[in-house]
Amino acid sequence: MAIITDSHTKSLEVIKKHLSELNLIDFYNFWLCEEIGFDNENIRKLNLKKSLPSDISSLNIVVLTKTKKIFSNNNIPLFGINDSIFKTYDDRPNLLTKREVRIQILADLELPKNGVIWDIGAGCGSIGLEALKLRPNLELFCIDKRIGSKALILENSKRLGVKPKFIFEEDIIKTLNTRNLSSFEKPNRLVIGGCDKKTKLQIINTMAQGMKIGDIIVIPIIDIQIIKELKEELEGKNFKTNLNLIQTYKSLSIAEGLRLEPNNPIFLLKGKK
């Protein structure tokens, strides 16, 4: 990506801020090309984690080249892990539960020191794996039907230094209908994401039977039309429910200040038995 800069609007600082705010600094090499075609032509790669040089020519362009991120787990926090830490699908890099929503889901799960958590529609595993980092004695079951999900979850497990007990790369309906569920630990905590209304209802109907007093189900929802049925299904299985709407915004720099970039609103339906 080549960017024609304007020294009067401090373009280099704006580009650096955007890359930082979008957590993209580690994904691109930042090449500064000065006075191309003239006697003082100069091309150099800058480290955006440091201050910009003071001797930059006003006649310049920036070239961003995609690079493979070198991962380090030295600075991973205990809670509130940044989205950029997780490896995601190459064709859908934003397909994960965002940090702000993930934090609320983990809080709603009221994670016990010991027990079993099922993460259905796990994707890259961000919810279940962060839960396991917070509570290492939990047993984690990850289930997702997307091809490649198991490899992603295994990679992210290494990054976070945790180990799920089972990872199934298959449709949850197949899991419920063909596997001997009695041989698996019943969940004390259950996250249901990434499937349609009919599948969610079947999961609740099947899994709720083995859940005990105090056990919790959390369902992230983007389709408001299905909330009523899911809520009634939970209440019919003796779960006390509550519903939260999570709407967050992230600041992005513009030439004269900041603008707010909205994230998709998410409804969190929680049921506690």
Q: pLDDT tens across 207-259, in order?
A: 998 899 999 999 999 999 999 999 999 999 999 999 999 999 988 777 677 88
Q: DSSP string spanning the chain?
A: -EEE--GGGTHHHHHHHHHHHTT-GGGEEEEEEESTTSTT-EEEEE-TTSPPPS---SSEEEEEEE-------TT--SSS--GGGS--BTTBTT-S--HHHHHHHHHHTT--SSEEEEEET-TT-HHHHHHHHH-TTEEEEEE--STTHHHHHHHHHHHHT---SEEE-S-HHHHHHHS-GGGSPPPSEEEE-SS-HHHHHHHHHHHGGG--TT-EEEEEES-GGGHHHHHHHHHHTT-EEEEEEE--EEEEEETTEEEEEEPPPEEEEEEE-
- pLDDT (0 to 100) of residue 102: 96
Q: pLDDT tens across 61-92, in order?
A: 999 998 876 666 667 888 999 888 899 887 77
What domains does the chain contain, in order, with CATH numbers?
2-66 (no CATH), 83-272 (3.40.50.150)
Give the pLDDT band of residue 115 (cuts 50, 70, 90): very high
Q: Higher confidence at residue 75 or residue 40?
A: 40
- pLDDT (0 to 100) of residue 69: 66
Give the pLDDT band of residue 8 (cuts 50, 70, 90): confident
Give the pLDDT band of residue 114 (cuts 50, 70, 90): very high
- pLDDT (0 to 100) of residue 72: 64
